[in-house]
Every structure is written in structure tokens, then in C-alpha cells.
Amino acid sequence: KNEVEQSPQNLTAQEGEFITINCSYSVGISALHWLQQHPGGGIVSLFMLSSGKKKHGRLIATINIQEKHSSLHITASHPRDSAVYICAALYRGGAQKLVFGQGTRLTINP
């Protein structure tokens, strides 16, 4: 069973809408990543956070350690935001390997 769950798996919205993608993880972590993957396959790191909230442009990421839950928000969404968004948990331990959610495919229509 995947230890990181994302919802929704697919999301279609109109340009300008406020977008929320959710991520929950099952055990304690040291940090959580939000990643963006475009059709070509390359992955870009958007945020790494271990508490609170981070903002970059129109993107906001929050994490609630007690509830083991994180959200990624996109304000004033734009068609260029269309991509797969993946949350990945960095678990404590020597390897520091990431455990990924299954991704949320976001499509923003003009």
C-alpha cells in the first residue's frame, strides 16, 4: 500500500479558478515535497516543507504535521499550470529516499 495518497487523481478547471490538491501520508516524515511533472517527463521541485506554509508566486503549500496532511494551492490558475503535480514524503532514516504519491493530473482550460 502506498504510504502517500493524493487527491484528486484528475482535476479539470477553468482558467482563473483556485486549485487545491491534497496529500496525506501514513507515518512520520522529516519533510514533504511538492513536485511538478510536465508531459516530457522531467520533474521540477516546487516546495520542500516540514511545517507551516510556503508561497512562491501563485503557488502555496501548507502542511499539518499533526494531521499528516499537506495541500498545494494554485491561485488564478492558468493553462500553463497544466501538469502532473506529485507530493513525495521524505522519510526519516539514512537513505532519505522519497515515497511518492500517484500524482494529480491538472488541466486548466482557457
List residues near another protein by CB under 8 A. 2, 4, 6, 30-31, 33, 35, 40-45, 48, 86, 88, 90, 94-103
Q: How far is the CB of 15 from another protein (least distance, A)?
A: 25
Among 23, 22, 29, 21, smallest CA distance to 81 is for 21
Among residues 55 and 97, whose Cβ is nearest to another protein?
Answer: 97
Count of alpha carbons within 13 angstroms of residue 7, beta-carbon side:
3
CB of residue 35 to another protein, shortest distance in Å = 8
Q: What angle do CA 76, 78, 80 make, to 5 degrees?
A: 145
